[in-house]
Structure 1
Amino acid sequence: MSDTHAQTVAFVRQEMLPEQPPPASEQGVIKWMRQNLFDGWLNTLLTVLSLYFIYKIVAGAWPWFANGIWTTSSLAECRELLEGGVGACFSVLTERWNQLLFGFKYPPDQYWRPTLAFVLLLIAMAPVLFSKKFPRQMFIFTGLFPFIAFWLIWGGSLLTPLVALLGFVAGYVAFKKFEYQSFAMGMIAGLLATVIVWWLGGFITGAAPGFMALEAVPSRDLGGFMLNIILGTVCVSLSLPIGILLALGRQSDMIIIKWICVVFIEFIRGVPLITLLFVANVVLAYFLPPGTNFDLVLRVIIMITMFSSAYIAEVIRGGLAALPRGQYEAADSLGLDYAQSTRLIIMPQALKISIPGIVNVAVGLFKDTVLVSVISMFDLVGMIRGPILASTEWNGVYWELWGFAVLLFFVVCYGISQYSQWLERELATDHR
């Protein structure tokens, strides 16, 4: 073979063949169905049975939804229009939506106030839940939101929430000023500054009760799903920091603080929530001076917060126990004191471990807010069981009302659950 022919014949391919698409059974929807629905004869059988039951449920329930009535003013009119057929009477939702959402005593011309407070709640929560996606300046509005929401929902003079805000600001400034001496000294100074500002502010609010005042709405007039949102949001927000303090107190080396936290946690966890609500509604009044007006919603918030904080404390204690001893030793080797090591090293890791348990307590707490209906508070369930079903127009409507309540609670609880799973994935730095 000549040299020229040897140079023109190649035994190694110099160009890559173009990529070929995978088979149709190994991509897209078909691949997903093979892996998740028809992977073996047992999964195929379960899939077919599941589809059969889903079909039976949808086929049976669809006429009830499709033939639903939305425009009548009573159950009797619904039945007349249905003429003995199958169909839902959704008219109760269009007729009583305002009572289901806001209660039957909240002034109808003031519905814009709790609606605006709910929209502002979503804005205030955004930088807390998605801190990496929002500027840090938005945390200022998050801190102001509780005072704005109180003014919007309850009304009255704007000076009341302003004085409360100034009290917290003064307490924080005093705490930071004395924190370098000791953490306990900072806490005492902060509490004293807050109490003094609130005491002085009482004279100011009394002198100008009409400053930018909205129509006052007493707590007894709050109701509907709005009341469930208020109780759930406030109690979850308060129970988390209190639960952290209880968990740290239970692990403290100071015997008195440790046993106070232990007794509190074990007592609260051993008592049903409904008994605490009865205590808030009835028994607590016997321990107050005669003529004292202690707001019922505030009493309920205190009891529910105590209940949930005890459970959150145990969840966080489990997260603290799961941390290896080396984390504590690393904090000591850096020369950090107890407050610094807990805030910067220990607690962030413990909270990360405790996310599923904390979310579980939060979801359970939000659902347990319906228990306030047993102490004559007209939340969503109280409105359904009381004024709506007791009326002659809608006596006998059950599935539509309870289905609406289920839908509202499911949307909120499912949203909380999905956020917690997203947060776990975002914080899973050790698996990346």
Structure 2
Amino acid sequence: MADNNLSFVRTEMLQGQTPPLGERGIVRWIRLNLMATPIDAILTVFAIFLLAWFVPPMINWLFVQASWSGADRAVCATVSQGGTQPEGWSGACWAYVNANFNQFMYGRYPQEQHWRVNIVGIMFVVLLIPLLIPRIPFKSANAIVFFFVFPIVAFFLLVGGWFGLPYIETATWGGLLVTLVLSFVGISVSLPLGIVLALGRRSKMPIIKMLCVVFIEMVRGIPLVTVLFMASYMLPLFLPPGVTFDKFLRALIGVALFASAYMAEVVRGGLQAIPKGQYEGADSLGLSYWQKTGLIILPQALKMVIPGIVNTFIGLFKDTSLVSIISMFDLLGTVRQHFNDANWASPQTPISGLIFAGFVFWIFCFGMSRYSIFMERRLDTGHKR
């Protein structure tokens, strides 16, 4: 007779237990990311040693012993070796940055007209933030206003000469104003123009393809400094007598064309990465070339090359400093221009000014980088079910 004793079968399930300490929380993160192998552990210890050696003196110089306010170089002066060093005199000279802050932001733009620049900046932020949020209503209208209406309004406000606004020569512009205008125009123009050049380079029409290839390879084969120099000094020599363009406008055109050549190659890489089946599937649906390109090919290609596009944007934003070669001063150029101010001649002032300019550039570049990562993760459908 079969044994009906089922005492070996569990009738109650064991209660769940928390994972061991080494498999959860910060301990697990440290073990997996910092101490996974002996080499990782050695590198981690070495990095901690470097941080402990470098960070405290840096914080001390940047903040603790820094000079935050003052009227001249006396607050940032240093003493000779062996002398008694007054408290707060051996750190960064933020007083120099504070005293010249308006120059760093606006250049020589008339102070009584700064409100015009501020209004343009507020409009830029108000229109850009909704455009960057993925799910928000009226995005198409927002994009039209941002890319078509806003530039016209900004032009009339910044330049003036209409509606009772005084005319402000672009030669007086400088600082962060020049950096943002150059980068905004360059980014806004280079992306659509780069897409057109990339499509033209892949065109089956020989003349269109040849023109695009010649333009791309010619522009990519010369440095931006040469492009700016030719746009500023050489281009007027080829214009008819009496015809001229504003130097700032010539710089805008040179920067935009230069960036578009690099953008074209980035977009072309995305187009080549699209499987052939996508093209054949679009053709089987009877779509025209522009329908196939705009609805199926380009959205996939641009999504794949977001890192390359943003990398080009970041490079363009930093390359605006090269306009100093044509006697135009962006943020970095304005900071360097003030090194010769006898009122602030001190060993601390150049370093402090360059750190300030580098921090401002880093904020914008880091923001673009983080947003590109966010969009990559949002648009990544490879592992979604």
Residue 391 of structure 1 and its aligned partner are, at CA, apart by 1.1
Letter in 2 for 1:147: I
What whole-Å deviation, never above 9, does each CA across 1:204-240 have from its counterpart, x for those lacking one? Answer: xxxxxx3xx3332221111101110110111011000
> What letter is aligned with 1:407?
F
* Greater relative contact order, per chain length (Cα 8 Å cut-off, separation 6+): 2
Deviations 1:90-127 (A, max 9, x none): 10111000011110x21112222222222221222234
Of residues 225, 234, 242 in structure 2, which corresponds to 1:274? Answer: 225
Q: 2: CA distance between counterparts of 1:361 and 1:382?
A: 22
Q: Distance in 2 between matches of 1:109 and 1:30?
A: 58
Residue of structure 2 in register with 1:27 after alignment? 24
**Structure-to-structure mapping, 1:23-422, within 5 angstroms:** 23-65=20-62, 66-79=64-77, 83=86, 86-103=90-107, 105-136=108-139, 137-142=141-146, 143-157=148-162, 210=163, 213-386=164-337, 388-396=338-346, 397-422=349-374
Q: Indicate the SS of the match to 1:429.
A: coil
- Matched-pair contact (CA < 8 Å) for 1:249–1:258: yes
- Give, in angstroms, the shift of residue 334 of structure 1: 0.8
- Consecutive unaligned residues of structure 2, counting only runs of 5 or more, are 80-84
From the superposition, tell whether residues 26 and 242 of structure 1 become closer, same or farther in structure 2 (CA, over 3 Å).
same
Is the contact between residue 63 and residue 86 of structure 1 (CA under 8 Å) also seen in structure 2? Answer: no
* C-alpha displacement of 1:302: 0.6
Deviation of 1:310 after TM superposition, in Å, equals 0.5
Shift of 1:10: 6.6
Query: Deviation per CA, 1:320-375, whole angstroms, max 9, x where unpaired?
Result: 11111111111111111111111111111111122111111111111100000111
Question: What displacement does 1:80 show?
Answer: 7.0
| Contact preservation (8 Å) 2:336, 2:350 | no
Are 1:430 and 2:375 matched, yes or no? no
Give, in angstroms, the shift of residue 11 of structure 1.
5.8
Matched position secondary structure for 2:100: helix
Which AA in structure 2 matches 1:331?
A
Alpha-carbon offset, residue 15 of structure 1: 4.3
- Find the aligned partners of 1:430 and 1:152 in 2 and give their Cα distance: 46
Instruction: Check conservation: 1:227, 1:379, Cα contact below 8 A.
Output: yes
Q: What per-residue deviation string (whole Å, max 9, x for no partner) do you get for residues 112-167 of structure 1?
A: 2222222221222234333324443433532422222222322232xxxxxxxxxx
CA deviations on 1:306-328 (whole Å, 9 max, x unpaired) are 11101111111111111111111
Query: What SS is found at the alignment partner of 2:343?
Result: coil
Structure 1 residues 123, 365: CA separation in 2 closer, same or farther (over 3 Å shift)?
A: same
| Pairwise CA distance, 1:416 | 0.8
- Residue type at the aligned position of 1:21: T
CA distance in 2, matches of 1:359, 1:78: 39
Deviating more after overlay: 243-252 vs 140-149: 140-149
Structure 1 counterpart of 2:315, which letter?
Answer: G
Aligned residue pairs, count: 372
Shift of 1:60: 2.3
Alignment match, 1:18: 15
Whole-angstrom CA distance in 2 between matches of 1:378 and 1:416: 23
Q: Residue 127 of structure 1 contacts residue 135 of structure 1 at CA under 8 Å; is this kept in 2?
A: no
CA 1:140–1:256 in structure 2 vs 1: closer, same or farther (change >3 Å)?
Answer: closer
Measured in 1, the distance between the counterparts of 2:153 and 2:324 equals 27
Letter in 2 for 1:253: K
User: After superposition, what is the alpha-carbon deviation per residue over 1:190-214, rounded to whole angstroms, capped at 9, x for unaligned?
Assistant: xxxxxxxxxxxxxxxxxxxx3xx33
Aligned-partner SS, 1:220: helix
With structure 2 as the length reference, what TM-score do the two structures score? Answer: 0.90
1:146 maps to amino acid:
P
Q: 1:174 — aligned with what? A: none
> Is the contact between residue 318 and residue 354 of structure 1 (CA under 8 Å) also seen in structure 2?
yes
1:186 corresponds in structure 2 to none
